[in-house]
Structure 1
Amino acid sequence: MLFIYLIQLAIFYQLSTAFPRNFGNHDLSAKESTDGVARFFIIGDWGGLPIAPYKTPSEIAVAHAMGKLGKTFNTSFQLALGDNFYFHGVQSVTDPRFKV
């Protein structure tokens, strides 16, 4: 099963660098690697609060740490997995839960 996920991630990375797409304010792209190595973060089950401001101090600390590590290790992209919006979910791409 892990092998299948790794293959899917490799395909995602290759497609996102070979065919970057414009989704308006919601771009899906990855930086090209200069050394042929794909470096990335995967985070899942990051949850949040059901009311504004939606984020917790722990989530903010993790986001800052990921930003620093992303710069240090020159990551190409970050991938967020499921279980991100608890309770009532989100209604659209303009949902307040996406605002920073």
Structure 2
Amino acid sequence: MALNISDIYTLESAAEHCLMSVRSYSRNFKAANSISFTAWLINIRLNYSLELLESTNLSITEVAQKAGFNSEQIYRKHFIKKYDISPKGWQTLFKSTKID
């Protein structure tokens, strides 16, 4: 399964792709990765959003969409929870520290 970060992924679709029950897939995923599927997916999307914030001039709404979040509000909530700064604050911080 090739990962296109902005596609919709669910625990159910991942389990189906692997021909497993949701319960078995979830248990096996967590045992192999020490993190739930949903938390893993959010982390992957947040990491990709960091690249976009640091290397593009996209709006926060565009970054949220390209990173696969359903809304800017959900994106902002997860971002602040993980990094303790808003996406705009992160973007501003990296724009001001860039050396040209």
TM range (shorter): under 0.3
The structure whose RCO (Cα within 8 Å, separation 6+) is larger is: 1
Q: TM-score, normalised by structure 1?
A: 0.26
Q: TM-score, normalised by structure 2?
A: 0.26
Higher helix share: 2
Higher strand share: 1
